[in-house]
Structure 1
C-alpha cells in the first residue's frame, strides 16, 4: 500500500471510533457531521478489507482486526503528533496551562494538597481542574485532549492509553474512638473478627465509576453478610459521619491515616481479605510526547510514587 494514497485523517476517525464506540460521539468530538464519520468508516473498511466496527445495541463494537490495529494506530498518531509538536517548548515557570485531571473526591484529598503546593513553588501560572469520570466519557475526552490525565484504579483505560503505577494500598476498617469495637483503654484496637465486622452497622461508599466498587463485589462473592445502615455516593462526609455514630466503614489505609490525623478516628486490619487496590497515573497515547504532559506526569510520579 502506498502511503500517498492514504488519507491519514482516517486513522484519527478510527481511533475516535475505537474509543467512543458511537458515530454520534465521534462526530461531536471531531466537529464534523455523522454522515462524514460514516463515510470515513466506509473508506476504512475498504482500505483494510474488514468491517472493523459492527453496529450493535451497545454501540459500534470492534472486530478482531480493529482490536489488533488499535495499538499501532495509536502509536502512529502519537509519533505524528510528536513530529508536529517537537518545537513547542514548555517552561513550567512561565506556563499558563490549565490541566484537567480526572480523580475521585478521595483522590483530591490525597493528591491535591501536595500537588498544589509543588505547583506554587515550581509553576505558579499553571492551574488545575478536577473532573469525575462518572460525569464524562473519560476515554473519549482523554483521546480528544479535553482531559489531560487520570489518577485512580481505572481498568477500562487500556487500549490507546499509557499507565504508570503510583502505589498500592490495602483496605482497613475505620470507626470512631470509643466505639464498642475499640479497646476500652484507648490503645489501638485489636484486629476485628469476621463476626465483629458482620454484626457492626456499616456505612458504604457507593463510588460509581471507581475501583472502590471491587470491595462490594469481593464481599458479595465471599458471602460476607453486611449490616448496611447507610449508603453515600462519595467519601467527603464519611469521616464526619463516623465520628458522630457507631457505624463502621471499609476504606483505604491512606484515607484512614488522614482521617485519624484530622478527626481522631481509629482504624484496624480488615478481617476480610479484601484485595489491595492499585492506583495508577493514566494518559492517552496521543499526548505521550507532549512536553507539558510529560512535565506534569514526572511531577506527579516524583510526588506520589511508592
Structure 2
C-alpha cells in the first residue's frame, strides 16, 4: 500500500497503545476519546491485516508483527518531529523540554552539579531526568527518542549512534588513613595481598582492574562486592580493605572520609567517558543545545 493512502496519525496511536498497553491510557496520553483510539486501531488492523494488539484481561498485548514494526515506526515518528522543529531554532529561555539522560551513578556527582547550574541559568522551564538504562537497551532507547543522551564508557554501538569523548580518568586506590601497612605509597605485592572492595551494579563478574590483573596472570581477593562507590568509601574508612576506582569520582566521594588516594601500582587503561546520541537527532536544535550543556559541564568538572 502506498503511503499516500495511509493516515500517518494512525502510527502515533499505534505507538501510544504499544507504550501504554491500554486503549484507555493511550486515549489519555493523546487527549483523544476511547472510541477514536479504537477506530484508529481498527484502521491499522486493516492496513497490516493483523490484530496488532490482543486483549488479555485489562491489558492490550502486542502481536509478533506489532513487536517487529514498533522500532521502525518510532524512528519514523522521531524523524518527523525533528523535521517539524522550529527551523533549527531552540529558545532555551521559553523551552519546556523534559530531557532524559542515561548516566551511570559514578558520574552523577561530577556531571550533574555544573550541568544543572548551566541549565537553570539559561532554561528555567527545562527539566532533566538522570536515569540508569541497561547498556543493551541504549540503542533502542536512543533510536526511539525515549532517551536524549547517554553518558558511559566506550561501548560497541553501531555507527547510527554518534559519540563524543568527554573525559579521560586515571585509576586510583583508596586506603584508610592510618592503615597499618600502607602510608603514602602502595606497591603491587601489598595490593595483591590485601582484601578488596569491588563497587559494581552487576551481580557478578570482574572489575576492569581484575581483567588487567588476569592478563598478567595475577588475581586479588574481593572480600566485599557492593553497588555504590560512596558506600565502598565508607567501608574503606573503617577497615583495612582497599578500593580501586576512577580518580575524579574518588576525590568527590572521599571528601568526608579522608581516605588516602594512591596511584594504582599496575598499568591500567584510562577510564574514557563518552557522550552518545542517535543520528536522527544530530541536527535537532534541542538535542544539540543539550549536548553543548553537557560538554560544558564536563569542562567544569575536570
TM-score between both structures, scaled by the size of structure 2: 0.70
Distance 1:119 1:38 in 2: 38
**What are the ranges of 5 or more consecutive residues in structure 1 without an aligned counterpart?**
10-26, 45-73, 184-188
Distance 1:172 1:234 in 2: 16
Instruction: Quote the residue 1:171 is aligned against.
Output: 171
Instruction: Quote the residue 1:146 is aligned against.
Output: 146
Instruction: Quote the residue 1:34 is aligned against.
Output: 64
Instruction: Quote the residue 2:28 is aligned against.
Output: none
1:298 to 280, 292, 299: 292
Distance 1:167 1:39 in 2: 37
**What are the ranges of 5 or more consecutive residues in structure 2 without an aligned counterpart?**
9-51, 54-60
Deviation at 1:35, TM superposition (A): 2.5
1:284 to 278, 294, 302: 278
Please give the residue correspondences for 1:24-173 in structure 2 after superposition, counting only pairs within 5 Å. 33-35=63-65, 82-87=82-87, 89-134=89-134, 137-173=137-173
- Distance change >3 Å, CA 152–CA 290, structure 1 → 2: same
* Alpha-carbon displacement from aligned partner over 1:70-94 (angstroms, at most 9, x marks no partner): xxxx9x9998765443536421122
1:268 to 262, 268, 271: 262
Deviation at 1:272, TM superposition (A): 1.5
Deviation at 1:116, TM superposition (A): 1.4
Cα contact 1:77–1:286 (8 A) shared by 2? no
Instruction: Quote the residue 2:220 is aligned against.
Output: 226
- Distance change >3 Å, CA 33–CA 88, structure 1 → 2: farther
- Distance change >3 Å, CA 39–CA 247, structure 1 → 2: closer
1:216 to 210, 213, 233: 210
Instruction: Quote the residue 1:21 is aligned against.
Output: none
- Distance change >3 Å, CA 287–CA 32, structure 1 → 2: farther
Larger Rg: 2
TM-score between both structures, scaled by the size of structure 1: 0.69
- Distance change >3 Å, CA 233–CA 37, structure 1 → 2: closer
* Alpha-carbon displacement from aligned partner over 1:244-270 (angstroms, at most 9, x marks no partner): 221101101102222343321211111
- Say which is worse superposed, 80-89 or 214-223, in terms of deviation: 80-89
* Alpha-carbon displacement from aligned partner over 1:126-173 (angstroms, at most 9, x marks no partner): 111122122871211111000110112041333211111111111011
SS at structure 1 position matched to 2:255: helix
Distance 2:113 2:271 in 1: 22
Cα contact 1:203–1:230 (8 A) shared by 2? yes
SS at structure 1 position matched to 2:229: coil
Distance 2:95 2:111 in 1: 21
Deviation at 1:298, TM superposition (A): 0.7
- Distance change >3 Å, CA 181–CA 118, structure 1 → 2: farther
Instruction: Quote the residue 2:234 is aligned against.
Output: 240
1:195 to 189, 207, 210: 189
- Distance change >3 Å, CA 37–CA 237, structure 1 → 2: closer
Distance 2:266 2:216 in 1: 9
Distance 1:118 1:181 in 2: 44
Cα contact 1:161–1:285 (8 A) shared by 2? yes
Cα contact 2:167–2:274 (8 A) shared by 1? yes
The total of aligned residue pairs comes to 244
Deviation at 1:176, TM superposition (A): 1.4
Cα contact 1:106–1:236 (8 A) shared by 2? no
Distance 1:300 1:120 in 2: 13
